[in-house]
Structure formats: C-alpha cells, structure tokens
Amino acid sequence: MNSFRQLFRSARNAAKEHGYKYCWIRNGAILIRKQEGNPAIHIQNMEELERYMGHAPAAPAAPTERSPAPASQQYGAAPGY
C-alpha cells in the first residue's frame, strides 16, 4: 500500500475517533473538517495529522472482546420490580 493511501486511512480513522464529521480527498489533498461551516484542514503528512489529533492510529483498531452484560440485562432474567 502506498504512503498516501496509508495517510488517508490514518486520517480517516483519527478523524472518526476524534469526532470529525468529514474526511475526504480533493485534487490530491487530504482534507478534514470538524463540522459544517468550519474550515477544512489540509493534512500533508503524519506529523500534521498527529499535531491536529494528538495521536493518529496507524490502522483500524481490532475489535475488542465485550464483557458479558450484567445478569439484570441478560435475556431471560427476571425484572427487578
């Protein structure tokens, strides 16, 4: 995978993690925007991405194992009236 694609994937994941609503490519530039009406931020490299996000995940996080629900929320448990 080339470095531009890796940077875009990292930007997309970091944007999602940090509550950015938009992440796109236009004319060969990676852009992110927090919400409608805010200015777009041009991301040119990982250092810029880390500066805006604090840290940037290199790849999508692996799914984590969920702990079981408390007995009161499991199917078949009697309601606690």
- What are the respective helix, strand and coil percentages of the chain, to the nearest 5? 30, 15, 50
Nearest to 24 by CA among 50, 43, 45: 43
Nearest to 10 by CA among 64, 48, 65: 48
Per residue of the chain (81 residues), give pLDDT as tens.
Answer: 689 999 999 999 999 999 999 999 999 999 999 999 999 999 999 999 999 887 655 445 455 555 555 555 555 555 555
Q: Which residues contact 4 (CB under 8 A, 6 or more apart)?
A: 30
The residues pairing with 26 across neighbouring beta strands, listed in sequence order, are 29
Alpha-carbon distance of 36 to 57, in angstroms, equals 24
